[in-house]
């Protein structure tokens, strides 16, 4: 990811995450950034690599881990999905069934349903790839405060996509709860998922 893009994303989220942390100090102690109560990150309308239209309501009852990227990404995206697969494998079978990982492409021009269907489940069969037309892609990225920008193509027509690298976790009620840095997935996500799974068993988050 280009440094300017990373700084842009961090600046856009800083004020919100600090204020939310203060307002929800009585919530479970997460390792990731607690964004409980955020007014954004509440909706999406895309198509899964299984061909089905998908919204967040389809995953109610499960904890959703939502990440963004593109299949031609050489480093951050495959690393993120690989680490999420390892995190899911570390859960008890019953717990793993209650966690859904979603990968939304920021490169709908190349990442068709067929491409996503081959790429995403290769990390874990339960993972679901999501794609939309350019407008749906922009709308969803804006909803989750994800910056992305297509770079100029080279002589062979190849190009990269600069993008924010954070992932998000939504609880079983569909509420945005956590922002996870891409380099903290292996260290922080296992703990945080267990916190949310236990919270669900206790009756859910306070509003």
> Using CA atoms in the order 184, 189, 190, 195, what is the torsion angle rounded to 10 degrees?
140
Domains of the chain, earliest start first: 3-150+161-201 (3.40.30.10)
Using a pLDDT cut of 70, give the percent of the chain over it. Answer: 83
Q: How much is the average pLDDT of 114-139?
A: 98
Summarize pLDDT for 30-65 with one digit per residue, the tens: 999 999 999 999 999 999 999 999 999 999 999 999
Residue 50's alpha-carbon distances to 96, 106, 121, in angstroms, are: 20, 18, 11
* 19-33, 67-81, 135-149: the lowest-pLDDT one: 19-33
Q: Is 141 helix (H, G, I), strand (E, B) or coil?
A: helix
């Amino acid at each position: 990811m280009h440094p300017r893009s990373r700084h842009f994303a961090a600046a856009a989220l800083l004020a919100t995450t600090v204020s939310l942390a203060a307002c929800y100090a009585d919530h479970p102690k997460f390792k990731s950034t607690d964004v409980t109560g955020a007014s954004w990150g509440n909706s999406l309308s895309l198509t899964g690599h299984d061909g089905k239209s998908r919204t967040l309501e389809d995953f109610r009852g499960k904890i959703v881990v939502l990440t963004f990227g593109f299949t031609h990404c050489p480093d951050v995206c495959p690393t993120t999905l690989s680490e999420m697969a390892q995190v899911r494998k570390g859960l008890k079978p019953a717990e793993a069934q209650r966690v859904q990982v979603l990968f939304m492409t920021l490169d709908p021009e190349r990442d068709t349903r067929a491409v996503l269907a081959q790429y995403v489940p290769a990390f874990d069969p339960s993972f679901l790839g999501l794609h939309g037309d350019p407008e749906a892609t922009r709308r969803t990225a804006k909803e989750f405060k994800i910056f992305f920008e297509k770079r100029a193509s080279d002589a062979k027509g190849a190009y990269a996509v600069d993008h924010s690298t954070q992932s998000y976790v939504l609880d079983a009620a569909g509420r945005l709860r956590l922002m996870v840095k891409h380099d903290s997935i292996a260290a922080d996500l296992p703990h945080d998922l267990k916190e949310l799974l236990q919270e669900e068993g206790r009756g859910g988050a306070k509003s």
